[in-house]
Amino acid sequence: MRFAGIVFWLIFNSMIGFSQNSVPTDSGDVYKRNRLKMVETQIIRRGVKDTNVLEAMKKVPRHLFVPENMKNYAYEDEPLPIGQEQTISQPYIVALMTELLELKKDSKVLEIGTGSGYQAAILSEICDSVSSIEIICELADRADSILKNLGYKVDVKCGDGYRGWPEKAPFDGIIVTAAPDEIPQPLLDQLAEGGRMVIPVGTYHQYLKLIRKIDGEIKEESVIPVRFVPMTGESEQ
C-alpha cells in the first residue's frame, strides 16, 4: 500500500525476512537515534510542521513494522518491501499524508491499505478511533499482531477497501495507501461533513489528492506527484 520505490523494491523483494507468525520486539537506543534523525532531516526539513505528527513519527518504532533483515534500513529516506509485492511508505510521505488530514484527538479515521501497520500506528498516536482495512489477509493478520503487541488500539479487518467500512461511517479522515484510477464513490459517501481524505489517484501518472467535504460538496486538490502500488479488488473493475 504504500509509496512504492520500484527499483528499491526489486533489489530487496527477494530478501524479505518475516518469519511465520512472528512479532518483532524493540532492541536498543540506536533505532531511537535513527528515528529522531529521520524526523529532523527527512520530515521537518521538508516542511511538515504539525507537532502531533512529528511527535508520533518520533515515537512509533518503524523498524518493528518491517521484515527482520530490513531493520537497518527502517529509518532511511526510502519505502521498503514488506512482502506480497507491497511496501511500507517512505517516512516523509507517511508524515505528509497524516498532516494533510488535520487530525484531532477525537477524530474518527479510516485507513484503506493496512500493509505493515505503521501508518495505522502513527494515526493511533494522534487520535482515539482508527479503523484499517487490508485486502491481503496475511498482511492484515501480521499488522494486527504487531499493533496489538505494541499496545495500539486499531480495528483491523481483511477486506476490499474500495467499499470502505459503512458500519463505522462517517469518518472525519480517510487515508488511502494504494492508488485507484478514480476516487471510489463509497469513500466519498463515508466522509463526514468537514472531513478530509488523502488518496493517490492515477495509473502511470499519479497525484496525491486532498479531498474535502464542505457543505456537502466535494473539493479536490492535487498535492504532489507520487508513485503508489495500485489499488486492487473492486477498484480494478
- The residues that are catalytic are 89
Rounded to 10 deg, the angle between the 51-59 and 118-126 helix axes is 130
SS (H, E, C) 96-114: HHHHHHCCCCCCEEEEECC
Residues in CB range of 107: below 8 A, 6 or more apart: 101, 126, 127, 129, 172, 173
> CA–CA separation, 33 vs 40, rounded Å?
11
DSSP for 172-202, written as a single string: EEEEE-SB-SS--HHHHHTEEEEEEEEEEE-
> CA–CA separation, 34 vs 182, rounded Å?
37
Of residues 198, 57, 226, the one with CA closest to residue 49: 57
